[in-house]
Amino acid sequence: MEKVKIGIIICDRYRTCAGGKCFRAAANREGAFSCYKGMDVEIAAFTTCGGCPGGNIEYAPEEMIKNGVTHIHFATGFLVGFPPCPHMEYFNKFITEKYGMKVIFGTHPIPQKYFITHTRLSTWNNDFLKDSIQPTITDELTRLNYD
């Protein structure tokens, strides 16, 4: 069975988050982790972006590579914060170009309460955000389980 080592970067606004929803979603292969069905996954790194404008983005991937990480997930908080992180698109380009790592937006499914609010606010109204949230949309029942 193929083993994938992933790193999770969370928005610094949520720096006290214990990662429970991310770890549950990884174990259950839900949300953005559904792409790993049938694979052995290890969360080998977990850190914050370092605060706006993402000072830790410059250094964290290099440390993650030393621990075997090949895929970086930006936690769902980047997508559902009020507002969503305005730096995600650049972070993706930077990490892909500088480190050659795969970047995935999202971890756990978007909680239903965030889905409703952002839908009403038309938050995800550009192509980048529409594409970025797709792995975390799931279905209503799953979203409710992450409220």
The pTM score is 0.95
Query: ∠ CA(71), CA(74), CA(79), 5° rounding?
Result: 145
* The two three-digit tokens of residue 13, written as one number: 């606004």
Q: What is the pLDDT of residue 49?
A: 97
Grade residue 2 by pLDDT with cuts at 50, 70 and 90. confident
Instruction: Report residue 33: phi and psi, to 5°.
Output: -85, -5
Cα distances from 58 to residues 7, 63, 73, 90, 145, in angstroms, run 14, 10, 15, 11, 34
| Residue-wise pLDDT tens digits, 103-132 | 999 999 999 999 999 999 999 999 999 999
Cα distances from 79 to residues 17, 93, 145, in angstroms, run 15, 17, 18
Per-residue pLDDT for 137 more than 80? yes
- Domain 3-145: which CATH number of 1.10.1740, 3.30.310, 3.40.50, 3.30.70: 3.40.50
Between CA 45 and CA 102 the distance in angstroms is 14
Q: What is the pLDDT of residue 46?
A: 97
Could you state, in order of their start, the residue ranges of all structural domains in the chain?
3-145
Per-residue pLDDT for 1 more than 80? no
Gyration radius (Cα) of the chain, Å: 14
Instruction: Give SS3 for 3.
Output: strand
* The two three-digit tokens of residue 82, written as one number: 């009020």
| Residue-wise pLDDT tens digits, 12-68 | 999 999 999 999 999 999 999 999 999 999 999 999 999 999 999 999 999 999 999
Per-residue pLDDT for 80 more than 80? yes
Instruction: Give SS3 for 90.
Output: helix
Per-residue pLDDT for 96 more than 90? yes
Per-residue pLDDT for 82 more than 90? yes
